[in-house]
Structure 1
Amino acid sequence: LAIFNEIFLTSSAVLWRVCVNSGSNSFASPTPRRCFVSCPSYKTLVCLSALLLLGVQLLRAEVTAGVLGTVVDPSGAAVSGATVVLRNPDTGLQRRAKTNESGEYEFLAVPVGEKYSVQAEAKGFEKSVQSGIKLVLNQKYRADFKLVVGAVTETVEVTGATAQVDTTNTQLGDVIENKKMTSLPLNGRSYIDLLGLQAGVVPISSEGAIADRKVSGNGDSGQVSVNGQRESANSFLVNGGDVEESVDNGASIVPTLDSIQEFRLLTNSFNAEYGRFSGAIVNVLTKSGTNEIHGSVYEFLRNEKLDARSYFDQERGDFKRNQFGGTIGAPVVKNKLFFFGDYQGTREVRGVSSGLINVPSVLERSGDFSELTDDFTGTVRGNDDPTVDPNRTNFPFVLTQRLGYTVATDEPYWFPGCTTTDPTTGCVFPGANGPVIPQSAWSPVALATLKFIPTPNIASGGFSTTAEKLNLRDEKFGAKVDFNTAHLGNWSAYYHFDDANFLNPYPEVFAPKVPGFSAVTLSRAQQYQVSNTAILNPNTVNEVRLNYTRFAFLKNKPVGGLGKIEDFGYFRADAAHPLGVLPTNSKYEGVAIITLANTGVEFGLPDGTTGQYNNTYQITDNFSKVTGKHTLKFGGDIRYIQVNERNTYTSNGWFEFDGGETGNDFADFLLGAPDFFNQTSPQLLDSRTKYFGLYGQDTYKARSDLTINYGLRWDTSQPFYDTKNRIQTFVPGVQSKIYPDSPRGFVFPGDPGVPGTLAPTQYNRFAPRLGIAYSPGVSDGLAGKIFGGPGKTSIRVGGGIYYTAIEDLTLFNEVGDAPFGLFWVSPSPVYLEEPYKRRVGQPDPAGNRFPFTIPAPGATGIWAKYLPIAYAPGYNLHNKLPYAEHFNLTIQREIAKSAVLSIGYVGSRGRHLLSTVESNPGDPTKCLATPGCDTFGEDTIYFDSNNLPIAFGTRPYSVTSGRELNKTTGIGSLDFQNNAWESTSANSTYNALQTSLEKNVGNLRLLAAYTWSKSIDNSSGFYDPINPFNPSLSRALSTFDVAHNFVVSYSYDLPFARAAHGVQGKLLSGWTISGITRFNTGFPVTLTEDDDNSLCGCSGADVPNYNGQPIHFLDPRKSGNLFFDPSPFSPEALGTVGNAKRRFFHGPGINNWDLAFHKNTRIGERMALEFRAEFFNLFNHAQFMNPGSVVGEVNGSLGQVTSARDGRIGQMALKLSF
């Protein structure tokens, strides 16, 4: 045995070393190889082999249930030594146990199922049997017996209850089983949409603080807030295996609805066996085969003829969806070997609403701005002195050449009464009624790309359409094999495959929806799993699980808008035009991104094309033992996660027009005068992390009515790192040794004190858990009436500490930054058609920044092309592992047969949560003291009348010490601009009153939940920055706060055919109504202020002023689409911080009814045909999205709603079950 043990240890160690050190996958392009996501590589096989060997030697999320109880005699005295037998005829399972001296017994790790029976017998007593018992995931079912004196040959049988008060478990959460899942109306048929049925769960994602990274063909990755935890803090498991997508922390594997046996959602104070995340634990258990062949075949159909148009749509969009598939389970060897398989295909084509967007009028498209004369406040920028600009590249010279008459520096573009082009007395574009820009003055890019901006098609002057089509093809299948052996335990193997192709006409979620720039997203998700449950003796069980999940996708691969840049008016960078555009990825060459910030129009290829390849290797083990009054559990969880990124962002450039030239953004576009230009190199990242968790836990039955759960977990979650150290951070005053002439303060992994991970790995993180469950057993008097007797009431209190992993999104945010990539932002105004040519000031001495290659460590003389570093995100070297404190006090009471009412207080506190803080903010006092400084002036070099500098911007780390100023030209070196620091400095609090009522016996089955809660934080996620001067100013409602949330799901069997027979009975029988009804307040409105009046340069952290008047809410249907009166809000005074809380009132709520009508017709004894008609938003309520919330926008939409959720939707289906 010692030699055998040593072989296992040595083999597993060698294989694991090969697994983690054999180098990362490399890719020539972001397009996945055909075999890459379907064929195991050498490294994959090595890692799985290592995991198998480690699993045998080592050693967890539970995917089983348990049965426990007490056996007593007629007087209530314990019966010790009684024999208790657990049986399941579906699988042939039979297990025996003996009661202890207290008459107690327990069966551990029992497979979930619906037809269990428990039998108790003892000498001198009749046998007693409880049948029809349903065991659900992670549940301890209580089957108590009071034996009757008599012969053992006599049997007393009762039917087991289907709902019980939980008298032993202090975890909060519930199980949703297959019958409920498949009976409720679901648009898209994903279990993810059922998470919101439970108390404490926000029904949908706010999408306000996370990136948009939808996965799977379902398009929903389950990022919702649970009990105040962040939307990225949930753990998703399938059959106990980790299926997390590691960048945004959503679910990458979503099994088909008909293949799921049930899922359990744990929401607060869960046991020590769960770790790595502080939010909900979502554990999905898939079906297994049984001794009988069973299955289903189905098809669900949607068609626009059953739908109503959404509120803002001008017409009802096309919609056709077919979801078809089936399941089959069967015995291979009766009572021993079982198989279950499933398949689902989805085909969808639908017209997607653009919503209501503002577009230039027909007059404006011709160059006539007589309707917008107030906008034209600008004067011509640039120098018209040929001695200063001998090459005549400044804008006055270019306009003179285009127009054929002289244009001078500082000449007004237009003023009332201007009718002459004289540069001293007139204006650039004279006109009695307003400025008219002739086409001769237009940029060649504007001439070529104006066609991409839609013309108005509604009376208000806006644009809306549903003509653009979304196309989805999704293929899913799964297979599961279960093998029950007498000596080697019960084995289970599972495989899931999901391949999706998704063509989206509007791939940019947060940009206005302009047609013509569709993109495709390709994804493939797979899960491989093997597990073993060994019954070592009736009181001892060991479970080991090996899991491998692979998720690969290519997001937003452009389809529309591709072509040669010359075809769109740009100059290609070559010998003739060295300052033109050089696309950084020739595969995605096409229309650059054009943003008209004030008008509200954006068009061009998608902002980013992302290739991601995610591998998760996992081994878990759990050892359970019942000894006396204690049920002990010990276990461990090891995970190794790889995430490779191959991204293309703004490959052709991104131009933003703010009206900085003429005063009108669209006029600036016609002239080719952007305020902002950005171009980015391809971004490469090979990130890794390791996780180790160990725990011990005891469920102590102190008395028959008192159970204490306590445990301790050790969580070591290594922050992500890049295998090639391509990340950076910012430490003021420190000079890097890796890149010796980098700007002072820019440091890299390998520099003294700089770790390769996003934070030092912390090995001393212990998470205690404690819960107490008290079930008063009193039956008499007033107390008996209150508590109902034994097992009818439970008072539970629980709490603990829960650490959560830092998502890879943080490392993803740093990918491609200097010097490992080039994120170039022009420090001076440039030309649209030739963006490396400045139209104001001296030529850029560094010229075109592309092509680009990553310099080797130690390289010098490389920094000219990077400066100024426009965006330098870094991680705080002192970051800590985020965690949450959970606590709850709940009371459960059985108020009728199989009807349980729960009411309780649930709370949580988040600490050391990750956010971003600007580490290089502008100094408003310095700006106010500098002549000429104004908004967005943090990165400007200011000069005196002698052309000598008086300020190198207003940020504390704008210029590197020792850099020389060019005294001749007055051009200085601004090294750093925005430095977003990734810091674990956020915190949160959550308090809630939660109630629920569950009934699942009889004609009516329902689950109702109401939550009254408040969630407060100073940052709701990575993209919700904290004010750098005073973090307390950012404290406000969470983006996902929903104050009131009521939801009820129900199913009612109509009693039409109780007295009917024959044909009439067939027609009237089998009718069921089911539905989900929801009423909740909306998400908070996040107020922002985009004119930089704070002089901070802190994007996203500025808030407006609020005069304190009560918010006047309006009905958008009666107020010109206004949801609230915007008059109490105004931009803050220059150089000050606004006084408004950034979130203190809520947007439109939800009043929604989803209803399904079912007709089940029996066909023989073993078959049934179901017809169903489902309607979502049955009453066609206008469900508005949050209103505009940016204060100070020109032509802004503050308080105005511009989009709504779907109107009424219909779906029909047929399903054959056997």
Structure 2
Amino acid sequence: MGRFRRIFAAGAATWLVAATAWAQSAQIQGRLVDAQGGAIPGAQVSAIDEDKGLVTRETTSDASGFFQLVALLRGRYTVRAELSGFKTVERGELVLDPNQVLELGDLTLEVGAVTETVEVQVQMPVVETGTSQKSYTISDTQVRELSLNGRDFTSLLKTLPGVATNETGFLLRFNATTGFNVNGLRDSMNNVMLDGTPNTDTGANDGQYTQLSLDAVGEFKLQSSSYNAEFGRNPGALITATTRSGGQQFRGTLYGFRRDGKWDAVPHDSLTGERVPLDYNQAGGNFGGWVPIPGISSASNKKLFFFFNHESTRADRPAESILEVLHPDLLNGDFGRLLRFNDDGTPVTFEGTNLNVGTVFKPGTIVRDSANAIIGGEPYPNNIIPTSEWNGNAQGFLNVLNQIYGQVDISSAEAVPGTPQLLRVPFDVVNEFSKDQEVLRVDYQASASTSMFFRMVLDSQREGQPRGIFSTQTFPVIPMFREKPGQSYSFNLYNVVSPSVTNELIIGVTNLDQVVDKFEDLPTDRYDRDLLGFTMGDLYPVGAHGGPVNPYNKFPNFNCGESCAFSPFPLTWRSEAPEIAITDNVTWQRGEHTYKTGIFFNMAFKAQQPSWTMGNLDFNPNEQNINETNYGLANLLLGNYTTYQQSDGIYYGDFRYIGAEGYVQDTWRVNPRLTLDYGLRLSYLGPTYSTGQFLQNYFVPEAYDASQAVDIFTGAGVLRGSVIPGTGNPFNGMVEEGSSGLPKGGIENTVDFAPRAGLSWDVKGDGQTAVRAGVGIFYERFRQNTLNFDGLGSPPLSYTPRLFGGNVDDIAPELVSAGVRFPVGTVGVAREGHPPRVYSWYAGVQHQLPWNFAIDASYIGNRGTNLAYQRNINQLPLGSTIANPPPGGVNDAVRPFLGYTNVTSVEFGAESDYHGLQARLTRRFGDRFTANVGYTLSRAQSHVDADGTTIDYFLDLERQWGLAGFDRLQMLTLDYVYELPDIGTLWVDNAIGRVLLNGWQISGVSRFWSGTPLTITSNGNPGTTGGGVRAEHLGGDLYPAEKTRDTWFNPLAFGRPADGTLGTTPKGFLRGPGINQWDISLFKNTRVNDRVTIQFRLETFNAFNQVQFDGIETGIDVPNAGQAVTGATREDTGRVTTFRAPRQIQAGLKIYF
């Protein structure tokens, strides 16, 4: 927090000296005419905030009668126009959204006395004729009256066309901005602005600094395509949220929401028929009004307003209700359940042998061919390993594994289909969540030309997960918590310098601290290696820079395959992320042109550790482990690991990011029916670089000198695979940022140009139909979690050797203290630095329909280029290790860059493509009924879906091209709020009837979406020292006649590809289950008196308790190359593995006063 206080002080100092201004303001514009249609210049036009009861902006109409009221905040307004010789005209009930250009068209002034007022009563305009920007608004009615499963306001985005998400169940999460993809773009490209302040964490771009309470949200807007040059930073959806503000009346709300698992339906995959435990409570309240200060704000001249909201959430929420665990027989050394048999009882054998698939072999006896297929070996009798051969550390591992069996009822377990060595057991994994938030906003309207507000949000949050944070343990052994307090401060100043010039300013200071650690009250015997019975040593008992690498003396992470993975995220991990953002706009209205120019300056201060390895054992079978048995748990019992890694220290780095953007744009009102928007944005987006004691290191292929390559020892013994001392340069190719031609942050970044253009054409000139189109280029700032942090975990600063094919008894400091080194994994980056770029375009029509309906239909497209992906450049071409097996089976001896294992390079050459037809039917301003119907028909394609995805084969990026993992062919969404007629007044008309029968309201969200693509993967040996393999489609029906829980697709239509190949089945070859979700709520509003109303809420999600499949097992595992999947080798392939949530119920109470 010390760092944040310094940043906040700097931001506060900036506020005091700032003289210009910016914000996410909106504007109202129109034209004043007389009864004959002639222009009326020189009239005074005012915007009156109806909630605050004061004039917030004034201007005069120009020679053409045109007027603009700019720098307005969201709210309800009345526009008043007055000129001597004419009656005053007022048009009220104008609802203004964030960043909106509200076009009123012609306002007619009648001849008469200025003291006479004419109130214009016409329908609120919803067709946007004054701007070309493509956007959708989530109204305050939707925010207030639509039920959300977890009360997360960003979940409302699912009601909008072009927004895809897989979420349907209970959401209770830390400020996520991911999980929804807009117009086919990556979810990390979303950008959330809170009152004009960037509210997206700079590390992963997947979370908000503070996630505003739903009851503090005034309104928010999604700008989805081709928005103006004024906006930048990210190319995806721009989500603009605003906080509520106080008004001239004192108003408040008290509210509480309750969830109980006993109210919900039984999960569709329950093994016991019991409901999932859930205990959720949320309580809060808000209050707003005006502030009396003598000389500044009085009852007759209210200028100072406030709004305060407090909310507390406490929840114990279910994460899983079923765990898959190893059958107890296996923990006793009996592996008979691994043996595979055909339906006729004959054994499934390794090709060319009589050895049963699933055989456990004695160490060192397995014989393989050049493709590493098993062709011989000495089995253990009856597939049982006698305890006399177990390693001395086996009991320590078993003491970890056995912790689950005392917590579950094995008698209610069922075997996993096709995998009898695994059991499904009922076990409620319940995550803890707590959050407290305070929101304060103070508005000051100094005059009709100057206004400002200050807003702060303070979050205190904590989540606890029994299976771990960021990485998952097979079952709870080390429960972990994550604390994530966030702060956001925003100061907004609006100043109308002259009738034609406006300054707007926003300065934001934000911060996000994080800590990940074990539960404070966790018993020591759950994790302490000594108490558990481990006797093995560490490579590094003490870190290279002092301090323990393993601060809690925790048992080593280990993974032995199915239901045997215990690699929790590093304990005591922490980070800080303070940030300052300043944006300044100047608007100049001159004739038919509205010019706008501005800058955006962003400085982020990040302090974070890379994830380090506190000892990590991999026991999974691998040909490089000469003592393997063909099964991970068997290797564990014998102590024969495949790989072991441990870092030599913990490095806490300081990082800096500086971004600067500027733009110019012009909105040209060519005539009253045609408006053109065009502009240019210039962006310098980083990169992030490290400062202080520890600097990042990257692998640079051009710096690697083959003549300085190390030699790898390929003989037998504990040093097998090590670097032979005295040979070569162990840091060959490693370059510290800022040296040897490698720029700070590893990226050579430049200023990028982003032109934007659009038009809006009022077809008939009556504001009823508009043709709108836009095109633009957008850039994304480099994500820190992709490019940075891990550079601190690279040599020569940090050293994480990888030992392989050894025994746990041999692990000791002596292995590395005598100068012996082992190959390490490292990271690289494409330093030429081309920021991810998106070309975006759209064309559409908006039309006003009868009964307050409006339709918005568009074609939207975009093309992403220079997108980040990852590539392991230290691999070999296909089939290399099959044609020429590595000496001694040591792959690291034949890699292109010797001395390294995987070299993961972040590169910027991936692409994406999206084409969509989107339509939205809206009824926003009805008296008792509002509704939206959204429809999308689209196709999203990409190489990879996320920055952190490593491609299957390092020489073939195009192999990755196909349907994006989040693609949904069709999406139909309906949301509605309907206040039922007051039948108590109509039919009964007495006090009891009115109380019982009046005030009922129904609302809901219904979704009917097609499924996402499925890619069928396979085991296999491509002979590349890595890479991903896909199955071969061998023919036959892809889907059964009826899709069931047991068979969503036909696994027998697929087979394992030949060795030395990657398989030919395309990415996204099949489709998964869709969504058919009905969320329906019933509210009862009871008016106690003129000042108090009570609202009871009954909210249901998946109201009809429909069975909805979700996850599908898409991987095949066939023992022999070129063979098809059979009934005996199918295992779980093609089966439904998870279901969407059953019916869930939430009760709520609100008191409005």
Under a length normalisation based on structure 2, what TM-score does the superposition of the two structures give? 0.86
Q: Does 1:1107 align with 2:1034?
A: yes
Structure 2 counterpart of 1:923: 877
Distance, in Å, in 2 between the alignment partners of 1:411 and 1:629 is 83
| Structure 1 residue 275: Cα displacement | 0.8
2:463 to 502, 517, 525: 502
Deviations 1:903-923 (A, max 9, x none): 110000111011111212123
Matched with 2:811 is 836
- Given candidates 682, 694, 697, the residue that maps to 1:727 is 697
Partner residue in 2 for 1:199: 161
State the match for 2:717 in structure 1: none
Aligned position for 1:904: 858
Asked if residue 611 in structure 1 is aligned to residue 574 in structure 2, the reply is yes
Offset of residue 1184 of structure 1? 2.9
In 2, the alpha carbon distance for the partners of 1:161 and 1:1181 equals 40
1:1075-1114 counterparts in 2 under 5 A? 1075-1091=1004-1020, 1093-1099=1021-1027, 1101-1107=1028-1034, 1109=1036, 1111-1112=1038-1039
Post-superposition Cα deviations, 1:195-228, rounded to whole Å, max 9, x if no partner, equal 2211111134799xxxxxx999645334421112
TM-fit CA distance, 1:938: 7.0
Decide whether the 8 Å contact of 1:683 with 1:815 is kept in 2: yes
Aligned residue for 2:184?
228
Which of 445, 451, 457 does residue 490 from structure 1 map onto? 451
Aligned pair in 2 of structure 1 residues 820, 122: CA closer, same or farther (>3 Å)? Answer: same
SS at match of 1:444: helix
2:1092 is matched with 1167
CA pair 812-223 structure 1, distance change in 2 beyond 3 A: farther
Cα deviation for residue 642 of structure 1 reads: 1.6
Alignment match of 1:448 (pick from 399, 409, 413): 399
Aligned residue in 2 for 1:165: 127
Structure 1 residues 577 and 491 mapped into 2: Cα distance closer, same or farther (>3 Å)?
closer
Post-superposition offset of 1:512: 6.2
- Alpha-carbon contact 2:152-2:172 (below 8 Å) kept: no
SS of residue in 1 equivalent to 2:652: strand
Write out per-residue CA displacement over residues 231-268 of structure 1, whole angstroms, 9 at most, x where no aligned residue. 11111111100111112102221111111111111100
What secondary structure, in the 3-state scheme, does the structure 2 residue paired with 1:244 have? coil
Change (3 A) 1:160 1:569: farther
The SS at the match of 2:745 is: coil
Cα distance per residue 1:849-885 (max 9 Å; x no partner): 48xxxxxxxxxxx9x555312x221101223111101
Deviations 1:604-626 (A, max 9, x none): 54466631211111111111121
Deviation at 1:762, TM superposition (A): 0.6
Go from structure 1 to structure 2 and tell me whether the alpha carbon gap of 1:44 and 1:150 turns closer, same or farther (over 3 Å shift): closer
C-alpha deviation, 1:1068, in angstroms: 0.9
Residue 488 of structure 1 contacts residue 534 of structure 1 at CA under 8 Å; is this kept in 2? yes
2: distance between equivalents of 1:1143 and 1:1041?
9
1:528 counterpart SS class = strand
CA contact (8 A) 1:735 1:746 kept: no
Q: Is 1:886 aligned to 2:848, yes or no? A: no
**Between 144-153 and 177-186, the greater mean CA deviation after superposition:** 144-153
**Residue 621 (structure 1) aligned with residue 584 (structure 2):** yes
DSSP 3-state at the match of 2:1151: strand
Q: Which residue of 1 aligns with 2:716?
A: none
1:206 and 1:1040 in contact (8 A); partners too: no
CA offset at residue 80 of structure 1?
2.4
Contact 2:230 2:663 in 1 (8 A): yes
Residue in 1 aligned with 2:683? 715
- In structure 2, the CA distance between the partners of 1:118 and 1:44, relative to structure 1 (3 Å rule), is closer
Residue 178 of structure 1, aligned match among 128, 137, 140: 140
| TM-superposed deviation, 1:532 | 0.9
| TM-superposed deviation, 1:290 | 1.3
Out of 349, 367, 371, the residue aligned to residue 337 of structure 2 is: 371
- Residue in structure 2 matched with residue 744 of structure 1 by the alignment: 732
In the alignment, what sits opposite 1:393? none
> Does 2:1117 correspond to 1:1149?
no
Give the aligned partner of residue 383 of structure 1: none
Task: Rate the CA distance shift 1:220–1:564 in 2: closer, same or farther, 3 A.
Answer: same
Q: Number of matched residues?
A: 1060
* From 474, 478, 481, the counterpart of 2:439: 478
Identity %: 25
* Superposition RMSD in Å: 3.3
Secondary structure of the corresponding residue to residue 795 of structure 1: strand
Tell me the secondary structure at the aligned position of residue 1063 of structure 1. helix
State the match for 2:748 in structure 1.
760
1:234-249 map, 5 Å = 234-249=190-205
Q: Distance in 2 between matches of 1:303 and 1:1203?
A: 22
C-alpha displacement at 1:1069, in angstroms?
Answer: 0.9
| One-letter amino acid matched to 2:463 | F
Q: 1:219-618 counterparts in 2 under 5 A?
A: 220-250=176-206, 251-314=208-271, 315-332=274-291, 333-334=297-298, 335-357=302-324, 359-374=325-340, 410=365, 429-431=380-382, 434-435=383-384, 437-438=386-387, 441=390, 443-452=394-403, 454=405, 456=410, 457-460=412-415, 462-486=423-447, 489-507=450-468, 511=472, 513-557=474-518, 562-573=526-537, 585-597=549-561, 599-603=562-566, 605-606=568-569, 610-618=573-581
For 1:466 and 1:1046, locate their aligned partners in 2 and report how far apart those are by CA, in whole Å: 36
- Tell me how far 1:337 sits from its aligned partner: 1.1
Residues 1:867 and 2:822 are matched in the alignment: yes
Q: Which amino acid aligns with 1:459?
A: E
CA shift for structure 1 position 651: 1.4
Contact 2:469 2:568 in 1 (8 A): no
Partner of 1:80: 41
Give CA deviations for 1:949-998 in whole Å, capped at 9, x if unaligned. Answer: xxx32x2223xxxxxxxxxxxxxxxx122111100011111100001011
Opposite residue 837 of structure 2, the aligned amino acid is: Y
Q: Which is worse superposed, 447-456 or 66-75?
A: 447-456
Normalised TM-score (structure 1): 0.82
Gap change, CA 1:635 and 1:873, over 3 Å in 2 = same
1:190 alignment partner, one of 133, 138, 152: 152
Cα 1:154–1:337 shift into 2, 3 Å: closer
* Deviation for aligned residue 1:835: 5.8
- Note the alpha carbon deviations across 1:398-457, whole angstroms, 9 max, x for none: x99xxxxxx8952899xxxxxxxxxxx9967434xx535336535333443331354754
Instruction: Indicate the residue corresponding to 1:30 in structure 2.
Output: none
Shift of 1:1017: 1.2
Corresponding position of 2:638? 671
Shift of 1:549: 0.3
Cα distance between partner residues in 1 of 2:219 and 2:777: 27
The residue number in structure 2 matching 1:1038 is: 964
Asked whether the equivalents of residues 184 and 1051 of structure 1 are also in contact (C-alpha less than 8 Å), the reply is yes
Paired with 2:833 and 2:1015, the residues of 1 have a C-alpha distance of: 27
In structure 1, runs of 5+ residues without a counterpart are 1-34, 208-213, 380-398, 401-406, 414-424, 779-789, 838-845, 851-861, 941-951, 959-974
SS state at 1:927 partner: helix
* 1:998-1032 residue CA offsets vs partner (Å, 9 max, x unmatched): 10213221111111111111122222223322221
Give the superposition deviation at 1:108. 0.4
Once the 2 structures are TM-superposed, how far is the Cα of residue 639 of structure 1 from its aligned partner? 0.5
Cα drift, residue 378 of structure 1 = 13
**Cα deviations by residue, 1:649-705 (Å, 9 ceiling, x for unpaired):** 431423332376222223223323232323234343322211101111111100111
8 Å CA contact 2:537–2:811 kept in 1: the answer is: no
Instruction: Verify the 8 A CA contact 1:592 1:605 in the aligned structure 2.
Output: no
Amino acid at match of 2:1152: S
Matched, 1:995 2:919: yes
Contact 2:102-2:130 within 8 A present in 1 as well:
no
The one-letter amino acid paired with 2:549 is N
- Residue 410 to residue 87, structure 1, CA distance change in 2 (3 Å): closer
Distance 1:637 1:440, change over 3 A: same
Q: Which amino acid aligns with 2:811?
A: Y
| Distance change (3 Å), C-alpha of 1:1201 and 1:712 | same
* Stretch of structure 1 that moved more, 767-776 or 454-463: 454-463
1:1174 CA drift (Å): 0.3
Partner secondary structure for residue 1103 of structure 1: coil
Render the CA deviation track for 1:622-657: whole Å, top value 9, x for unaligned.
Answer: 111211111111111100012211355431423332
Aligned equivalents of 1:792, 1:451: Cα separation in 2: 70
Supply the distance in 2 between the matched residues of 1:157 and 1:467 (Cα, whole angstroms).
62
In the other structure, the counterpart of 1:957 is 897
Distance 1:372 1:235, change over 3 A: closer
Q: CA deviation at 1:1063?
A: 1.6
What's the CA shift for 1:558? 5.3
One-letter amino acid of the structure 2 residue matched with residue 170 of structure 1: S
